[in-house]
Chains A and B, each alone.
Chain A
Amino acid sequence: MIAEAIASGAVSGRLWLYANYHCNLRCTYCLTESAPGVARRELGEERAMAAAREAPELGFDAIGVTGGEPFVLDYMPRLLAGLGRELPTVVLSNGTAFNERRLRAMEPLADLPVHVQVSLDHAEPRENDAMRGPGNFARVVDAIPRLRERGVGVRISTTLEDPDADPEGLERLCELHRSLGVPDEDHVVRPVVRRGRASTNGLGLRAGLEELDPELTVTADGAFYSPAGPTVTAGALDTDLLLTRVTSPLARPAEALARVVAGRPAGDDASIGVR
Chain B
Amino acid sequence: MLARGVRGSPTLDAPMTLLPSTREGPVALVAPEQAPVLARPFYAAGPPGPLVASLAQVPELLEVAMPFVGGVLGPSALDVRTKEIVVLRVAALLECCYCVGSHTPIALDSGLSHAEVGALRGELSIDEGFADPLDRALVAFVEEVAAGRGPVDVGPRDLVRRALGEPTLVEITMVASATAMLARYCTTLELPTAAATLVRLEHEGFAAR
Binding site for B on A (CB under 8 A): 209, 225, 238-246, 252, 256, 260
Contact = CB atoms under 8 A, between A and B. Distances in A.
A213 to B, nearest CB: 14
Q: Which of under 10, 10 to 19, 20 to 34, or 35 or more describes the interface residues of B? A: 10 to 19
B58 A209 contact: no
Contact of B59 (A209, A238, A245): A245
B60 A246 contact: yes
A21 B76 CA distance: 48
Contacts of B57: 239, 245
A246 B56 CA distance: 13
A245 B58 contact: yes
B60 A260 contact: no
Nearest to A256: B38
Contact of A240 (B35, B58, B60): B35
Contacts of B36: 239-243
B92 to A, nearest CB: 33
Contacts of B37: 209, 225, 240-243, 256, 260
Nearest to A225: B37
Contacts of B30: 239
Nearest to B33: A240
Contacts of B38: 243-244, 256, 260
Nearest to A245: B58
A108 to B, nearest CB: 38
B17 interface: no
B45 to A, nearest CB: 17
A125 B37 CA distance: 40
Contacts of B33: 240
Contacts, number: 39
A256 B60 contact: yes
A275 B112 CA distance: 60
A225 B38 CA distance: 10
B60 A245 contact: yes
A244 B34 contact: no
A46 to B, nearest CB: 22
Nearest to A229: B37
7 contacts: A239-B30, A239-B36, A241-B36, A241-B37, A244-B38, A244-B60, A245-B58
Interface in B7-63: 30, 33-38, 56-60
Contacts of B34: 238-240
A238 B57 CA distance: 11
Contacts of A256: 37-38, 59-60
B60 A252 contact: yes
Pick from B35, B38, B57 the residue with the most CB of A within 10 Å: B38
A54 B28 CA distance: 33
Contacts of A238: 34
Contacts of B58: 244-245
Nearest to B20: A236
Nearest to B32: A240
Pick from B33, B35, B58, B60 the residue with the most CB of A within 10 Å: B60
Pick from B35, B37, B57, B58 the residue with the most CB of A within 10 Å: B37
Contacts of A243: 36-38, 59
List of 9 A-B pairs having minimum Cβ-Cβ separation, nearest first: A242-B36, A244-B60, A245-B58, A239-B34, A239-B36, A240-B34, A260-B37, A225-B37, A243-B37
Given A241-B37, A256-B38, 13 more contacts: A238-B34, A239-B30, A239-B57, A240-B36, A241-B36, A242-B36, A242-B37, A244-B38, A244-B60, A245-B58, A245-B59, A246-B60, A256-B59
A241 B37 CA distance: 6
Pick from A239, A245, A252 the residue with the most CB of B within 10 Å: A239
Nearest to A214: B37
Contacts of B35: 239-240
Nearest to B36: A242
Contacts of A244: 38, 58-60
B48 to A, nearest CB: 14
A73 to B, nearest CB: 27
A246 B57 CA distance: 11
B39 to A, nearest CB: 8
A245 B59 CA distance: 7
Nearest to A264: B37
A248 to B, nearest CB: 13
